[in-house]
Structure 1
Amino acid sequence: MTSDPAFRPATAVLLAAGLGTRMKSSRPKALQHLAGGPMLAHLLRNAAEVFDRLVVVIGPEMADVAEVAAPYPVVIQHERLGTAHAALQAAQWFGDGDVAVLYADNPLISAQTLTALLEERRKPDVGLALLAMRPADPARYGRVVTNAGNVERIVEWSDATPEERAIDLCNAGVLCADAADFRRWLEAVGNDNAKGEFYLTDVVDLAVAEHAQVRAVEAAEDELRGVNSRSELAQAEAALQKRLRQNAMDNGVTLVAPETVFLATDTQLAADVLVEPNVVFGPGVVVHEGAVIRAFSHLEGCEVHSGAVIGPYARLRPETTIGASARIGNFVELKSAELGAGVKVNHLSYIGNAQVGAHSNIGAGTIVCNYDGVFKHTTSIGKNTFVGSNSVLVAPVEIGDNALIAAGSTITNNVPQDALALGRARQTTKPERGKLFKDALKAKKENG
């Protein structure tokens, strides 16, 4: 907290008590996923850039939502009696300064828009600020009725006249006011309506009745769109992906076919990274400058260093690190693996719970057997080591620098540096027996 006497703190109250009823889900709405993370996490991240304090309102028996909200405090709305009632449960956290009420099912509001909302509220004589949008299809949104730039009222679609329904400025539900005013208005909201609920939008009427100036801050529909159904979740995902892709390209990343690449909100792609079509980035991916992610690859929880080439059709699972200029080819899967600079794993291999030294080559079809059915075990492969195709490395095992593993070997013991290891049966060749065997099979087929 600053010691500046002009400092005015700001608190965000995030309403996250909603159930997933309309989504036909046992998971609360706040935990539905967008771009690799729950909706609530997106809103928390953006709100934390703007507000000094955050508090989350959840429903009863929502420990999983509280876990996502951590380390921010949570309060419980034991009875779901409407949005104003939910916001009032957090009144003890309002403190001084300004308070904004946000919704977990409006997860895409940017920090820039939240800043604009707070700045509007802090203008002289503005008692209440709200967010509004002009959607392509206003549909059944509440309409924001203005006069000379001030908001006079919000009219629900069902109550609106034809003239009011023609208004294209629609309510997004987010409000911001002085803490004391907000607390007083929330306490005055009634529930004389068809559902017997306390609605946050009624705060606008109470503010206007006190002759407070109410102003609307407009933002894009893609930011303010609510998410209450699976189809709206898909629309929000598309909007967020478009934003993430554009941000990546603005920062120097080449996306060959942007519409086919899917990013997580925490994906870090450095300048001059090239991403080919149909690549999916799960949470926790860092890709350094000049790396190439080729088509149809899937990366999650991993780090790819400069100049490395991944794919096509590669899968990098969590706790994997790929060294500079390494090559990971088609149908290769890595998990909990650390590969040094210049390592090559080009074809049809699985490397798990392993360290591979710089400039080693792992041949096609190599499998690291890291799991015994109960425990995971580690394999260590040294520098400049060559592992021949179709080798099986049974962990735990260590292979020294500059060793050579013959193709088709099953390795169960440690291999010293510079050694040649062969772990396969001796070949036996029997002249003419192949032809005799095939002739016998053909005759059996012909005789039924």
Structure 2
Amino acid sequence: MNSLFAGQAGTTQDEILLESHYSAHNYAPLPVVISSAEGCWVTDVDGRRYLDCLAGYSALSFGHRHPALIAAAREQLDKVTLTSRAFHSDQLGPFSRDLAALAGMEVVLPMNTGAEAVETGVKLARRWGYRVKGIEPGKATIIVAANNFHGRTTTIIGFSTDPTTQDGFGPFTPGFRAVPFGDLDALTAAIDETTAAVLIEPIQGEAGVVVPPSGYLAGVRAACTRENVLFIADEVQSGLGRTGATFACELEDVHPDVYLLGKALGGGIVPVSAVVSTWPIMEVFDPGSHGSTFGGNPLACAVGHAVVKLLETGEYQRHAATLGRTWLDQLQGLIGGAVTGVRARGLWAGIDLDPTIISGRAACERLAERGVLAKETHESTLRLGPPLTITADELTWATDQLRAVLS
């Protein structure tokens, strides 16, 4: 054991022990130690292969080590990786131009993580509320949805309705009002003269891939337009092809005022996030009002630009939509017994389990034993989101393993 702790590679149990000894216990990972990966598959330190049906919570939407993304990163590594925003780089402009075009917007503010994008969106909404809408200084409010998940910073968890994210971390930032997700009447009633924005996930990922009622997003858009309120769509998880469309909002032909993007934008290589909007909104930021040392760095922009190029053809969106329809039929066939409900859009699904029969954790452990990696959320829901590069045969095989575990 002393040699292991000195740095020599070990077995799965050795590596888990080493990590447990030196890494903070803020996660409870499945007992799988991944050492290499390619496409939709990963290999552990003992040489066993697994089909990755979590895909880094959508951060690996294009699979592990996608050739085009690896090539873009390698090329940029030989040039320059970081300048800080004190200087210009030759990668930020092309990346911003093409991402804005992909989103049907005009301007991009690059950050690093999804939580940073959300925090930036909060600052953007408040400053827009004061400078453009004319809200009384210090009084701006933002409407959010119950059971949301937007990140882990203290501001963001302050408007979460999940007590496990808040326990022991208060006091929290005021100025947020939570209403039931999917309840348009409640959202409309919450809007008043202090409301700067509505911030929602078009599909709630951490809540269990919860899809709102038909017409809800269109209703949110209409209410925001009518009341002069910004509609901010957090598509950190749902965006960039995951649901069978470039953005989940497009499933209802809805265009928000602001997109918050992340995860898949970094191609599973580097953290890349962005706030994407129009100039009349984004121009409330001026030099010194917001920033990030690493946000918009050349390496991140090179990888993010390569991701945008992959999405411009629509190939991945069509693939997710086509496979997703077949997959939903397969998953609905599981309902009964341990499975109490199924929701899916594209290659993103939530499967509710009867906890008296099997817990989410136990289901994931048994899936791992059969070579499929997934992760539970809220103890009794399985969340599945394989890479958009998965084949029909691979997806069917994974569903077969799921059926075997749950039956």
TM-score, reference length from structure 1: 0.19
Higher gyration radius (CA): 1
**Higher RCO structure, 1 or 2 (CA under 8 Å, sep 6+):** 2
* Structure 1 or 2: more helix by fraction: 2
